[in-house]
Structure 1
Amino acid sequence: MGEGMLSAIHGPADVHDLPADQLPELCAEIRRTLVDYGHVHGGHIGSNLGMVEATVALHRVFDSPRDRIVFDVSHQSYVHKMLTGRAAAYLDPEHHDVTGFTNPDESEHDQFVLGHTGTSISLACGLAKTRDMRGGHENVIAVIGDGSLSSAIAFEGLNNASEQGGNLIIVFNDNEMSIAEDHGGMYGPLARLRASGGTAEPNIFHAFGLDYRYVEDGNDVLALVSAFESVRGIDHPIVVHIHTRKGLGLPVEDAAANIATAEIAAGATDGGDTGTIMSASSCAASEETIAAISTTGADTTGATCATDPGTADDGDATVIAEDLAITEGRCEANHWQNPDSAAGKPLGARKHYGQLAMAALERRFASEPGLVVISPATPGSNGITRAFRERAGRHYVDTGITEEHAVAFASGIARAGGRPVLATSATFFQRTFDQLQQELALNHTPATLLDFGGGLSGADNTHSGAFDIVMFGNIPGLTCLAPTSGRAFLDMLAWSTSVANDGPVVIRVPGDAILGAERAGEIVDMTDHSTASDITDTQDCPWNRYRITHAGSQVAILALGNEYPLGLRVIETLAGRNDGDHAGIDATLVDPQQFSAIDADTLRALAEDHRIVVTLEDGQLEGGWGEKITAWYANAGLPHPVRVLNFGGTKEFTDRVPLADLNERYGLTVEQVTAAIRSLL
């Protein structure tokens, strides 16, 4: 650990005790620490760099934890953690650890576990309500921004706060960005507020009946201290609107032109305080940069996949180049920064398959005016590049962080005859369950949902995708597809967005297990491409029937979606290869292809010459797909009993547990599955 000022900060009291003229120095040291941390560890660096001065000022003025500070989303809470006894995790990340979000188990200064957006004002209203009922006098502060204000629940919170009254301080961090650019009509009036020094009308906060203050330089710590002191102890709700610069401390845009294209392609850094890889201009990758990345030794295209879904105009190289285009300010790439150790590695599954999907859709835009891609503010995470968005024009809509609106919007497009494709993360689809059930499934509108990041992973407890099969698979009328290759994924997308499909479809975008198996040549494309054009002419879903990819006997392995590569390894091991002295078993392997309906004919046929049926799924078992297979066999009235083994996740929240450890915990390894099977034979 260093010997600077930050290493001597063990809690807010130490911030209170600093002479005022040392606060800018503390902020500068924190900013350097964040930049260095980003290179080693990665994370939400841009939003935290913009919040350095505001967080120092909050802990200078208020008395946490007595005064309660709620950070919306809480990905912008790194500085808060530094000032509340956890600086070592950022100064020496190899030996200390913290979560990426606030967590009361970590510190009494963290009010809630938060990772989704827009909830801070509502949570703060609840804290303030209980305080007032008990006759307390502490301050309650909600910190919201970085695009979160566009969430419907944020407006609901503002509405409630105004009527409730009492002390409630809402700090609105206006960095002129969401995760990507801001989208929506509310941002025009906010821009006019900034331009007028906070005096312009209409003022969205006044419209709610809230008091209002404006701080133009939200990165001036002394100005912020003064502003927060003026509202401390206030007896009514007030919004303090601060104008900050996201990513402040990262290279400025003009400096990017000085980085050689070859260095960018190689993932090189300049070795200085910033060391950040930058773009040629405007936080977007130049054509030269993309070309350089395409010709490096890194496998960026997935060309070694067993399936070749076609050449994408907007390929992996473009995605990688845009991810590397990190500068301060209004730059999408600075929202999430990968560690330097990730440089040169092939693109992960969600961005790889995402850009393939966008390329496939883009080729149809000219002839299909109703084909529209929708992203609720997270395009880059899913391979929807800036280059694609610019070319797509009106065929692409970023709704802001508004998943509920996005699903209803998609249903409206579909009802009018359009073909919407809504792309976001499994964890964010949870925010709109009611619209999935009511506006989409109940109305049977032909919208396509691309479910990214579904399944077990080492994610934070706020961003787990382990619940998507349970959620989607239990909504009536929603077709749920689980492709096991890039080709199958694109075929499913082509069918779901064609006129042949008349209902809502969710496609679980393949994960890294599938991509790794494709790149290794382990998954063989068995699609009959001579009839591939017929897919879009088929009214019934072409994947309703389970697909037997290897016919055997005694044991049948039903491996859903991302667990298909595990199924391949299980049947290989059971056959006797690399399996010690055990007698070989020629097991059947089944690719279910979907998890919305039971293929009773296939299950009944398997029962004729199989004693054991095994289901593999990378999601929660309870309420999931495998249990439905068990229930079917238990109630089918078959002449011979079939023993069913279900492998999947336990109903629990997991926090940054490595995927290998989760698989071991849940029995999702070759050794554990084969041992369980052999114990029954």
Structure 2
Amino acid sequence: MGGLLATIHGPADVQALDAARLPELCAEIRRVLVAFGHAHGGHIGSNLGMVEATVALHRVFDSPRDRIVFDVSHQCYTHKMLTGRAQAYLDPALHDAVTGFTNPRESVHDQFVLGHTGTSISLACGLAKMRDMRGGDERVVAVIGDGALSSAIAFEGLNNAAEQGGNMIIVVNDNEMSIAEDSGGMYATLARLRESDGAAGDNLFRAFGLDYRYVADGNDVAALVAAFEEVRDCDHPVVVHIHTHKGLGLPAVSPMTAAATGGEARLDGDAAVVAEDMDIREGRCEANHWQDPDSAAGRPLGARKHYGQLAMAALERRFADEPGLVVVSPATPGSNGITRAFRARAGAHYVDTGIAEEHAVAFASALAKAGGRPVLATSATFFQRTFDQLQQELSLNANPATLLDFGGGLSGADDTHSGAFDIVMFANIPGLTCLAPTGERMFLDMLAWATGPANERPVVIRVPGDPILAAERSGLLPAIGVGDDDGRSDDDPMPWSRYRTVHAGADVAILALGNTYPLGLQVVDALRRGMTAIADGDAAGASADAAVDATLVTPLCFSTLDEATLERLADSHRLVVTLEDGQLDGGWGQKVAAWYQNHRPDVRVRTVGGDTEFTDRVPLTDLNERYGLTVEQVVALVRDSLRG
């Protein structure tokens, strides 16, 4: 825990350091990052490329008086080390003391809580505008890169910055990578700028009316210090375009191949994700390609990759006969099981739009309008950025695109990557069919139907999460397919509009949506075992309200209510309990409760789900306990409600 870094407690220490020791500091930070990644995981690739740039920024600028805004902010680890948080990276016992993103609750040097991409320039414009309005003289710096320029809002920010004027430095970290490979024509112009040492005529930034500087070696701390000193006190916006090597310093990866092998992933609830197909704790580089860490270590895949790979395999088998079947990913393909091998085989059947979720939804809608069958796959947290396109371009136009919603539901993710809000968002858009499969077979059945000729509407499928996968692997879940329970056939125009009654009981009905279905099974079993204990003469388990043979229902569609099933339940049940692993306010359970209040007020309804709040890295077990989503708590709720 010693060394030079341990003596850095703030930017003043960086500024006081002898210039000749800056490379030594950078080398030490790089070693710490690699060790931290091995022990803890995180966004290591992009941070390794940004070491020198961050040291130079804190050498030249006076944070927090000078405001530095890190885009996405997953490339802020060195910044945190230099602003009083080095021990969190040096001491394994403190690794969880900092988040993977900037957060003003941690330090005054962090300007915003950021976890989505492309917003730094817009934020910098706002900071600079207010500075100029009040006559301040602090500098404003936006640090963007790692593919973030492909985000539409980044272009909006560039456009505004040029017209606004005033001191603003936009540092473009060009590491020749996005989340996976760069996607979009813009990157060809960046390549020409690199090849011409910044002199190419088709300069994207000058076309916006911005001043421009180029630093060919973005990992040369002295060159960066000189460049930042040159523009520090400019009276107009200027872009400093730096060419860095993503993953520089990773074992077995040379500087020239680091960018080609380290496709960074945004943090989607998995803190161990270092790069798209790489976890440096377990992954290894062979033939310039990082193996999937779970496969390399013999571990089973998590739900996202497991169900994502199943979906891609099912679609791939249809490519030869269905030219309109296209998979669309707005970056982050690897985290959703869209492997490099699949992408290579898919050819024109796969499109990476870059970090441009709004464009991806509009693009998918147009594919469907033209007769195609697009499948758009991304995270619940990133679908939030597309609300207008989901409502207007897609649902209002009733185009049959299929959306695969990964990572929906409660999780231990940071507060910018929670999927807890997806049910509320999707289910309240008119004309959007929202499905929640409870197993592998059903998921693939739904995907086949949504992308087939029988479906004529936009559909979102909430990809099963880890609770479903764990229950399937343990044998807890029975297989439920299209025709089960009610005898309906595959040619039904909407085969999931009716809820499935898995077990028919009486008095109490448990309606368990999506990822809470395994919980529902366990609750019904626990209530039934109480009844069995009495029948067997177990005095310890005997009580007047212990014997409950509850009905279990899995509602497979959360955009509409199955009123026929709700009415039927009301005839033989006096208590209905809804379970959902998402925000309760405005969610599915409240719609069920409202229906009963309006139509059958004689039935008591209790809704269980998440609070309306942001949660930052709270373990899922703690969240479930907080929201009453445990077997013990639901069973207690049932018994208390029956007594009440």
1:311 matched residue in structure 2: none
> Which of residues 568, 577, 588 is equivalent to 2:521?
568
Counterpart CA distance in 1 for 2:361 and 2:590 is: 28
Counterpart CA distance in 2 for 1:39 and 1:630 is: 48
How far 1:284 moved relative to its partner?
4.9
1:25 matched residue in structure 2: 24
1:360 matched residue in structure 2: 314
The 1:164/1:348 distance shift into structure 2, 3 A limit, reads same
How far 1:580 moved relative to its partner?
3.5
| Contact 1:456–1:659 under 8 Å retained in 2 | yes
| Contact 2:445–2:481 under 8 Å retained in 1 | no
- For residues 56-78 of structure 1, what are the alpha-carbon distances to aligned partners after superposition, in whole Å with 9 as ceiling and x for unaligned? 00000000000000000000000
How far 1:676 moved relative to its partner?
1.1
Counterpart CA distance in 2 for 1:127 and 1:541 is: 50
Residues 157-236 of structure 1 aligned to structure 2 (within 5 Å): 157-236=157-236
> Which of residues 305, 316, 325 is equivalent to 1:351?
305
Amino acid at match of 1:559: A
Counterpart CA distance in 2 for 1:403 and 1:489 is: 23
2:566 matched residue in structure 1: 603
Partner SS state of residue 446, structure 2: helix
> Which of residues 656, 664, 677 is equivalent to 2:625?
664
1:298 matched residue in structure 2: none
Q: 1:121 and 2:121 equivalent?
A: yes
| Contact 2:361–2:376 under 8 Å retained in 1 | yes
The 1:535/1:115 distance shift into structure 2, 3 A limit, reads farther
Partner SS state of residue 93, structure 2: coil
Partner SS state of residue 285, structure 2: coil
- For residues 21-51 of structure 1, what are the alpha-carbon distances to aligned partners after superposition, in whole Å with 9 as ceiling and x for unaligned? 0000000000000000001100000010000
The 1:22/1:532 distance shift into structure 2, 3 A limit, reads farther
**Structure 1 gaps, min length 5:** 258-266, 268-273, 286-317, 325-342
The 1:550/1:429 distance shift into structure 2, 3 A limit, reads same
| Contact 1:615–1:646 under 8 Å retained in 2 | yes
How far 1:532 moved relative to its partner?
13
2:285 matched residue in structure 1: 279
Counterpart CA distance in 1 for 2:496 and 2:201 is: 55
Amino acid at match of 1:678: R
Counterpart CA distance in 1 for 2:346 and 2:298 is: 29
Q: 1:35 and 2:34 equivalent?
A: yes
Q: 1:47 and 2:46 equivalent?
A: yes
| Contact 1:555–1:610 under 8 Å retained in 2 | yes
The 1:235/1:406 distance shift into structure 2, 3 A limit, reads same
Counterpart CA distance in 2 for 1:405 and 1:133 is: 34
Counterpart CA distance in 1 for 2:582 and 2:327 is: 27
Counterpart CA distance in 1 for 2:188 and 2:421 is: 37
2:470 matched residue in structure 1: 516
> Which of residues 478, 492, 498 is equivalent to 1:545?
498
Counterpart CA distance in 1 for 2:521 and 2:282 is: 41
Structure 1, 96-105 or 57-66: larger mean CA deviation: 96-105
How far 1:94 moved relative to its partner?
1.6
Counterpart CA distance in 2 for 1:531 and 1:573 is: 23
Q: 1:653 and 2:607 equivalent?
A: no
> Which of residues 553, 556, 575 is equivalent to 1:612?
575
Amino acid at match of 2:581: D
1:73 matched residue in structure 2: 72
Amino acid at match of 1:654: T
Q: TM-score, normalised by structure 2?
A: 0.92
Q: How high is the sequence identity, in percent, across the aligned residues?
A: 73
How far 1:252 moved relative to its partner?
3.8
1:557 matched residue in structure 2: 510
Q: 1:634 and 2:634 equivalent?
A: no
- For residues 81-131 of structure 1, what are the alpha-carbon distances to aligned partners after superposition, in whole Å with 9 as ceiling and x for unaligned? 000000010001323510110000100000000000000000000000000
1:88 matched residue in structure 2: 87
| Contact 1:382–1:424 under 8 Å retained in 2 | yes
Partner SS state of residue 65, structure 1: coil
1:482 matched residue in structure 2: 436
Amino acid at match of 1:608: D
| Contact 1:250–1:276 under 8 Å retained in 2 | no
**Structure 2 gaps, min length 5:** 258-271, 273-279, 534-539
The 1:150/1:439 distance shift into structure 2, 3 A limit, reads same
| Contact 1:500–1:536 under 8 Å retained in 2 | no
1:260 matched residue in structure 2: none
- For residues 449-485 of structure 1, what are the alpha-carbon distances to aligned partners after superposition, in whole Å with 9 as ceiling and x for unaligned? 0000000000000000000000000000000000000
| Contact 2:39–2:281 under 8 Å retained in 1 | no
Partner SS state of residue 171, structure 2: strand
Q: TM-score, normalised by structure 1?
A: 0.87
1:504 matched residue in structure 2: 458
| Contact 1:647–1:668 under 8 Å retained in 2 | yes
Partner SS state of residue 320, structure 2: coil
Counterpart CA distance in 1 for 2:448 and 2:168 is: 50
Counterpart CA distance in 2 for 1:344 and 1:86 is: 35
The 1:468/1:40 distance shift into structure 2, 3 A limit, reads same
| Contact 1:319–1:383 under 8 Å retained in 2 | no
How far 1:280 moved relative to its partner?
1.8
